[in-house]
């Protein structure tokens, strides 16, 4: 028995190293692209960039903040439909705190935090974990649908571009795979059990020693049995909410570009939105693709704007403040508030999954 135990322990150790190696490779690739971006911005006239940012009015800043608020609500809405009893306030808190952790720490750290928050509110573990994962699948479907929409928009007004076509084809392949996963989650109990067990094994290899893969598998199966109808019903409104979030992101970018003095005669609304949709999957990279997405977006938009790219860089600086720094700040504030409430009133707030805000 001792040899079997040692062998089992060895099997668990090796995949963990592979997981770590995969994360390291991912970050190295990101750092390579970030280095190339830094080389690009070294040639930017930053005096012009800050001068362009200084042209923003208080009303433009307020409009951007309102759009950020709409964006956060849209991002949180699917959790309400996937997890019974969550409510809008808690859904917002869970989504903002989870986003903040996902930016600064590798997966599945955000999943652990989200589940701890749900547990503190009395949400059933099986429903909570499955809801979080299905919500992530919904988001990835929206993320990789974006370049398809971008291509359709672009070719409606301009000649076909190879970059848009390649992004759309890649997105279509990923979306097809994800949709198969969602169908399995809705209809296949045995497959859900296997997927849950596998997810638990991956979580355990990533450092979560207390995770029981069999329990995770049972949770997935329980969720599939009890909430398959909820999953189907949640898919349409969730898709609508996430597409609205995507449109809000694009609107924020448009406002940022117009606010630094780039007119519609220089850069059309269609060109801006289509380019953003094309590069949107890059947000899957660490730090939401900071630097990499910006460089790709500048490259696409520079084909339409013959002027100096300093104004585009200025617009993207403001865009990143609104879509990255502001949500991170909200996530930090939310996490601190939740921790304080958990210490003061542990598990008193909503002990039943049916309790709503």
Q: At what angle do helices 326-344 and 88-104 cross, to 10 degrees?
A: 120
Cα distance between residue 332 and residue 336, in whole Å: 6
Cα distance between residue 323 and residue 83, in whole Å: 26
Does the residue 352 lie in any domain?
A: no
Domain region containing 242: 2-344
Would you state the pLDDT for residue 130?
A: 76
Helices then strands, each counted (H, E), the chain: 13, 0
Cα distance between residue 280 and residue 274, in whole Å: 10
Does the residue 83 lie in any domain?
A: yes
Q: What percent of the chain has pLDDT over 90?
A: 31
The segment with the largest mean pLDDT, out of 29-38, 116-125, 157-166, is: 116-125
Would you state the pLDDT for residue 167?
A: 78
Does the residue 353 lie in any domain?
A: no
Q: Global pTM?
A: 0.78
Does the residue 351 lie in any domain?
A: no
Does the residue 25 lie in any domain?
A: yes
Total number of domains in the chain = 1
Q: Kindly report, residue by residue over 19-61, the tens digit of the pLDDT.
A: 666 667 767 766 776 676 666 666 666 676 777 778 788 999 9
Alpha-carbon dihedral 187, 193, 199, 201, rounded to 10 degrees: -170
């Amino acid at each position: 028995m001792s040899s079997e135990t040692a062998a089992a322990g060895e099997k668990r150790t090796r995949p963990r190293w592979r997981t770590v190696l995969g994360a390291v490779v991912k970050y190295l690739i990101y750092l390579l692209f970030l280095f190339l971006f830094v080389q690009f911005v070294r040639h930017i006239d930053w005096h012009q960039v800050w001068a362009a940012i200084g042209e923003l009015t208080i009303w433009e800043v307020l409009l951007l903040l309102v759009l950020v608020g709409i964006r956060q609500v849209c991002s949180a809405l699917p959790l309400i439909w996937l997890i019974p009893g969550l409510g809008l306030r808690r859904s917002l808190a869970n989504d903002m705190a989870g986003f903040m952790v996902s930016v600064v720490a590798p997966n599945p750290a955000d999943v652990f935090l989200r589940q701890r928050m749900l547990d503190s509110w009395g949400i059933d573990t099986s429903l909570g974990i499955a809801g979080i994962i299905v919500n992530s699948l919904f988001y990835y479907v929206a993320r990789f649908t974006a370049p398809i929409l971008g291509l359709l928009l672009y070719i409606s007004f301009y000649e076909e571009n190879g970059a848009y076509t390649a992004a759309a084809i890649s997105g279509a392949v990923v979306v097809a795979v994800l949709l198969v996963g969602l169908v399995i989650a809705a209809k296949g109990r045995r497959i859900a059990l296997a997927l849950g067990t596998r997810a638990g094994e991956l979580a355990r290899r990533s450092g979560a020693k207390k995770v029981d893969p069999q329990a995770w598998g049972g949770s997935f199966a329980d969720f599939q049995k009890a909430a398959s109808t909820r999953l189907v019903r949640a898919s349409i409104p969730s898709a609508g909410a996430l597409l609205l979030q995507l449109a809000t992101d694009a609107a924020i970018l448009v406002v940022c570009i117009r606010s630094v003095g780039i007119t519609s005669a220089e850069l059309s609304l269609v060109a801006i939105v289509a380019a953003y949709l094309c590069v949107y999957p890059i947000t899957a990279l660490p730090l939401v693709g900071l630097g990499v997405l910006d460089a790709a977006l500048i490259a696409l938009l520079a084909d339409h704007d013959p002027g100096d790219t300093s104004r585009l860089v200025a617009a993207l600086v403001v865009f990143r403040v609104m879509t990255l720094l502001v949500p991170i700040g909200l996530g930090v504030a939310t996490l601190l508030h939740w921790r304080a409430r958990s210490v003061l009133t542990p598990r008193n707030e909503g002990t039943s999954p049916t309790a709503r805000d």
